[in-house]
Amino acid sequence: MVLVLAATAFAVSQLTVQVSQSRSRTDATFWAPSVASGSAGDQLSEIRRKGDWVEVRTESGASGWIHSSAVTSKKLKLGAGSETAARETSADEISLAGKGFTEEVEEEYKKSNDELDFDGVDRMSTLTVSDEDLGRFLEEGHLAEWGAAK
């Protein structure tokens, strides 16, 4: 009985990255230096939580902090032949599928919202901001970080 309780106490929660790109950081803040990057569908092991942040370990063994909004405890099922599906499915498709968003849902949404510029949204998703630029933006704007660990 004691052995079972001890094993349960050390059980590691598995998380899945649910955003197209993510970074784990040295501290539980958005401007801390990155220690590892990941993509939608990547598996992480939860170490501990601190406010809205989760300390995680990647499959390669790197550990760092990631905001809880970037991960989910839900298992993403790719269906039969999942090894093949994982290689042929984009990170964006995995992320959207994890949220219940499919091509069919997108097409239906486009039909009812034809005045929206969906190409603009696609262009925006390709933009990236370096850690240095983000830090400079926050500092120069005298901005407090959203989601900082408490």
pLDDT digits (tens, 9 = 90+) for 20-31: 888 999 999 888
In a domain, 31, yes or no: yes
In a domain, 150, yes or no: no
Asked whether the predicted pLDDT for residue 87 surpasses 50, the reply is no
If we measure between CA atoms, which residue out of 48, 55, 52 comes closest to residue 26? 55
Residue 64: CATH number of its domain: 2.30.30.40
In a domain, 82, yes or no: yes
In a domain, 147, yes or no: no
Lowest-pLDDT range, 62-66, 84-88, 141-145?
84-88
In a domain, 149, yes or no: no
Instruction: Assess contact for 19 and 70: CB atoms under 8 A.
Output: yes
Which domain range does residue 123 map to? 9-140
> At a CB cut-off of 8 Å and minimum separation 6, what does 98 contact?
16, 18, 40, 72, 74, 76
Query: Domain tally for the chain?
Result: 1
In a domain, 126, yes or no: yes
This prediction's pTM: 0.58
- The pLDDT confidence band at residue 100, using thresholds 50, 70 and 90, is low
Asked whether the predicted pLDDT for residue 51 surpasses 90, the reply is yes
Torsion of CA 92, 97, 102, 106, to 10 degrees: -50
In a domain, 63, yes or no: yes
